[in-house]
Amino acid sequence: MPDNDRTIHVVLTDDDGDDRELFREAVGRLGIKTDLQTFSDCEKMVKSLLKDRTGKTPDVIFLDVNMPGKNGLACLRELREDVEFARVPVIMFTTSARLIDIQQARKFGANLFLNKPSDFNELTALLKKLLSPAGYRTLVTANY
């Protein structure tokens, strides 16, 4: 559980390079110790985290839904089948508002389903809320 002295390990998987860069910039402005690891697709994330087991287990994972190849929902399902990742908070972070995506994210065990803010300041405020110690404690138990 993150606290003021501990670094939060965050993973973002999103095929949009601009979105990854905005996320990185927003995280950098939080004033919270974070270690951000980004992936451009689910295959690379799954290979790194589940197959090769490189790096440490993340404190929270942000997944885009709409990606070429394996989409974020398929990736979520695979993460939840792994004992080590079954309890890691996963936030579906997407532009999708399709009801089927929301329903499947819930079914596969996402903690939250959030639409990406279109404004950088909104993104920064949202991440600060989610990654603060109090926000993280809420996130861990969240099941939307």
**All domains of the chain, ordered by start, with CATH?**
12-117 (3.40.50.2300)
Decide which of 54 and 33 is more confident.
33
For range 57-64, the mean pLDDT: 94
Q: What percent of the chain has pLDDT over 90?
A: 66
The 3-state DSSP class for residue 26 equals: helix
Quickly state the pLDDT bin for 133 (edges 50, 70, 90). confident
Spatial separation of the C-alpha atoms in residues 101 and 73, rounded to whole Å: 8
Please report the pLDDT score of residue 20 as a whole number: 96
Measure CA 129 to chain center.
14
Quickly state the pLDDT bin for 65 (edges 50, 70, 90). very high
Q: Which of 85, 30, 83 is nearest to 63 (CA)?
A: 85
For range 116-125, the mean pLDDT: 94
